[in-house]
Structure 1
């Protein structure tokens, strides 16, 4: 009755993710391109500015916000290095494609990567909302530590993930970031 539908390549990122439900919900919205970014709100005539609230430099689109923005790219590249993946961050469609092809297995490394991706997208979106609506700012190092702690906490509930996370450093060496006064 429902018909045949093609499977989307990012389904494994969302469906088999041990992250928090709120992380997965935001990840699903980003995968569908349904987050209310400033460029989308501007097309409806709602917002006055399209500047990115994280870096104050580019236009706030999904591709810029995840992970082309220098602020979010710093967070994502640090988390990639923490996982042992040494490459630069890409814009969202490319990042999602990379994760869909390289982190789609059932091994603990892929599961940790999917959790970290969902947590990163969620926390970057929450930081963006805090800056717009509450005028609160946190540095990338605070967000990185929070993501790692939450991933560790959720991973301890699963045996295989707990073993993989024990191999990773709970307190990674964070890069020294330039202080940005705004």
Structure 2
């Protein structure tokens, strides 16, 4: 009886027929509630960044990261100041991207796709990402991936500073971000063209107008720097012995 009453509420069986045959798809559409589309759906669906990084972005978009202002609301004693700049209280809006350190990282990362501007507040930046996620251009796809990686790696840097008192230089973080994006983006998005140039002085270049895969430059630069740092660490260890 409950099922029959529900069907009658939805307009009867006739509303679920296609060519006089019952359609599960139409029945599903009639049964499911009419929910509005969330603005972040395409950021999750059309994002080629790693699932872990997308999840951190999702948490940030919902104000669910454990920033100092939220931790204090849980009656847990902690330092309310931003550990990256030590100038203002930490919150999502401050961390992305009112903080001088995070703003520097975001500005340098934007230059990789030839965008020259200062970082905006997180609420404005996330709206821009929502808008970009609806576009299918190369620049828009890379923009969404870059933003995802920036939020993730800046959160990692924040945690390293809070728990280990370690912080990488902004330029090093930018290179890591671009490397991650280059390693996961589509093949066609790795190519530099005359119309869509991904400019990063030390990571990419164009040779006699040829299309150069960005991932090649990113990988070799990243590996060279890793090798240099390993050699330096080895030399320091030998000297200590």
TM (norm. structure 2) is 0.66
How many correspondences in the alignment?
A: 171
| Larger relative contact order (Cα-Cα within 8 Å, sequence gap ≥ 6) | 1
CA contact (8 A) 2:96 2:102 kept: yes
1:49 aligned partner: 79
Q: Structure 1's 102 and 47: CA in aligned 2 closer, same or farther, altered over 3 A?
A: same
Name the structure 1 match of 2:9: none
Q: How many Å apart are 1:2 and its aligned residue?
A: 4.2
- Report what 1:83 is aligned to: 113
The one of 113, 116, 140 aligned to 2:170: 140
Aligned position for 2:150: 120
Which blocks of at least 5 consecutive residues in structure 1 are unaligned?
174-182
| Gap change, CA 1:62 and 1:122, over 3 Å in 2 | same
Cα 1:102–1:19, aligned 2, differ >3 Å: closer, same or farther?
closer
- Give distance in 1, aligned partners of 2:93 and 2:192: 30
Give the Cα–Cα distance (whole angstroms) in 1 for the partners of residues 78 and 53 of structure 2: 28
Quote the residue 1:177 is aligned against: none
Q: Is the 8 A contact 2:114 2:199 kept in 1?
A: no
Asked if the contact 1:115/1:151 (under 8 Å) is kept, the reply is: yes
Please show how residues 52-71 of structure 1 align to structure 2 within 5 Å: 52-71=82-101
Spell out structure 1 runs of 4+ moving beyond 4 A: none
1:20 matched residue in structure 2? 50
Q: Runs of 5+ in structure 2 lacking a partner?
A: 1-30, 205-241
Does the CA-based 8 Å contact 1:10-1:97 persist in structure 2? no
TM-score w.r.t. length of structure 1: 0.86
Q: Distance in 1 between matches of 2:163 and 2:114?
A: 35
Structure 1 residues 148 and 3: alpha-carbon distance in aligned structure 2, compared to 1, 3 A threshold: same
Aligned counterpart, 2:188? 160
